[in-house]
Amino acid sequence: MIVRDKLYLGGSWVAPGNAELLEIRSPHDRRILGRVAQAVDTDVDAAVAAAREAFDNGPWPRTDPKERQEVIRRFDALREARADEIAEAISAENGSAGWFTRIGQPFLSRQVNAYLRAAEEFGWEEVVEPSDPSVAFDTIVRREPIGVVAAVIPWNSPFSAAMAKLTPALLAGNTVVLKVSPENSLSMMLLADLFHEAGLPEGVLSILPADRETSEHLVSHPDVDKIAFTGSTRAGRRIASIAGEQLKRVSLELGGKSAAIILEDADLPAVMQGLRFGSLGNNGEACILQTRILAPRSRYEETVTALKEMVESLKVGDPSEPDTFIGPMIRPDQQQRVIDYIKLGVAEGARLVTGGPEVPEGLEEGNYVTPTLFADVDNSMRIAQEEIFGPVLVVIAYDDEDDAVRIANDSDYGLSGGVWTSSAERALGIARRLRTGTVTLNGSPMSFDGPFGGYKASGTGREYGVVGLTGYVEHKTITRHR
């Protein structure tokens, strides 16, 4: 059993304000994995004070951008050397299947490298030529760090969510207090070890596991200049209201209920292979998953049958076993939430094709849910409109291309989406009509070079690449006589 009784606060390991340690339990069998310190309001105050001092008087914001890039490169090399350990830690805490946490490690390097390329090409200070040659002054545009960043991330993909915020914030010269979920206390302490070894200056980074009430104390803190949040839309609305009251900079990456549009000419076996990952990856606990499957009426039953076979082929069980595809939900309350949605789908009149509310046989000690497929779903049903965050798919019939686009866009969310067809031109045409931040065509992977974020209730702001880096800078214009 692992015991981590100190917090990573301002670059040092310190005793927490509350000495009581939180038990971290395995979602597979609920045994105790470790005990870890949790932050309280006084720890947040100390972390923000350290970040404020490091930003106002320390070297990091004034360090040459190339030197900051080198620190991030060192961190990523250290992380890569411990990739297997990190993957195992996340699987143990989250219940994410090993295949998912292992393939996530190279993706982290791609994510970081995309930010590094953006930072290398970024115009940190540029002289802009006047549009009117007769103007007798120069314009200098500077991009400067915002200040103290409060980054708040969820439990479902902790390293990826952390790096989506830490990398651009640090590259831009900000100082950061990263609030992580209690469920990820063990793996996030590994993240603290890595950044400490990479050589960040004192005060630049704190990593604090804490509950929701402590999170609100952090984002409300008067010395925080920007909030970067990933999580539920409900929590995002609360954070946006706090940011609005205090005029803090804010970016929100929130929920999704994304649609995968299958056209008549799609190759169904290829579609099924893609939807295994794009609709059921990470146990269904991912905001970008395409859990509304839109199928043409001409191939509706054929699609439902293919989906049934695919869903039933996925092994559910111990996430540490190499052939497990779907592991347990992270907590018992999340397990019950998903089961309640399955019961709701039956009550709403959807056809239960496979799965159901019963826990898989032999896995009753863990937080398991049987992967479930509903057909004959109307897009107005709650199971089609609300984010379930579990291995539950719904299949919705459409009449023609216009109808498919209408149904896909008929959602409060707009985070992701997909199109499956043998016609590249047709796929691109539909993608341009979808009101969503990211669209994948025929199962293509998500890009870390392009911006990632959502329309509508899926959030504000963007992450990744140049656009993501821009979200962590202020723009200053200086004019001088020529």
Domain count, the chain: 2
Within a domain: 405: yes
Give the pLDDT of residue 472.
98
Identify the CATH number of the domain in which residue 166 sits.
Answer: 3.40.605.10
- In this prediction the pTM is 0.96
Q: Are both 310 and 240 inside the same structural domain? A: no
Place of tokens 């409300």: 220
Within a domain: 58: yes
Q: Are both 103 and 163 inside the same structural domain? A: yes
Give the pLDDT of residue 136.
81
| Residues pairing with 463 in the sheet | 452
Interval 256-303: pLDDT, tens: 999 999 999 999 999 999 999 999 999 999 999 999 999 999 999 999
Give the pLDDT of residue 132.
82
Give the pLDDT of residue 273.
97
Interval 108-162: pLDDT, tens: 999 999 999 999 999 999 998 888 888 888 899 999 999 999 999 999 999 999 9
Interval 402-424: pLDDT, tens: 999 999 999 999 999 999 999 99
Range of the domain at 379: 258-447
Q: Are both 215 and 78 inside the same structural domain? A: yes
In a 10 Å sphere around its CB, with 0-12 CB exposed, 13-18 middle and 19+ buried, how is residue 409 labelled? middle
Interval 379-389: pLDDT, tens: 999 999 999 99
Q: Are both 279 and 244 inside the same structural domain? A: no
Q: Do 72 and 80 meet the contact criterion of CB atoms below 8 Å apart?
A: no
Tell me what the pLDDT averaged over the chain comes to: 97
Q: Are both 68 and 115 inside the same structural domain? A: yes
Give the pLDDT of residue 464.
96
Give the pLDDT of residue 1.
86
Q: Are both 273 and 172 inside the same structural domain? A: no
Within a domain: 269: yes
Identify the CATH number of the domain in which residue 369 sits.
Answer: 3.40.309.10
Give the pLDDT of residue 130.
84
Active site members: 253, 287
Within a domain: 452: no
Mean per-residue pLDDT, 229-241: 96
Q: Are both 355 and 314 inside the same structural domain? A: yes
Within a domain: 48: yes
Within a domain: 453: no
Give the pLDDT of residue 482.
77
Q: Are both 189 and 288 inside the same structural domain? A: no
Rounded distance, CA 4 to CA 185, Å?
9
Q: Are both 269 and 248 inside the same structural domain? A: no
Interval 83-115: pLDDT, tens: 999 999 999 999 999 999 999 999 999 999 999
Give the pLDDT of residue 446.
86
Q: Which two tokens stand for residue 226?
A: 């920007």
Mean per-residue pLDDT, 201-216: 96
Q: Are both 304 and 385 inside the same structural domain? A: yes
How many Å is the Cα radius of gyration of the chain? 23
Interval 5-16: pLDDT, tens: 999 999 999 999
Helix axes 83-94, 185-198, angle to 10 degrees: 160
pLDDT bucket at 481, cuts 50 / 70 / 90: confident
Interval 17-60: pLDDT, tens: 999 999 999 999 999 999 999 999 999 999 999 999 999 999 99
Rounded distance, CA 155 to CA 430, Å?
33
Q: Are both 134 and 7 inside the same structural domain? A: yes
Q: Are both 265 and 232 inside the same structural domain? A: no
All residues at 6 or more sequence positions from 429 whose CB lies less than 8 Å from its CB, including other chains? none
pLDDT bucket at 253, cuts 50 / 70 / 90: very high
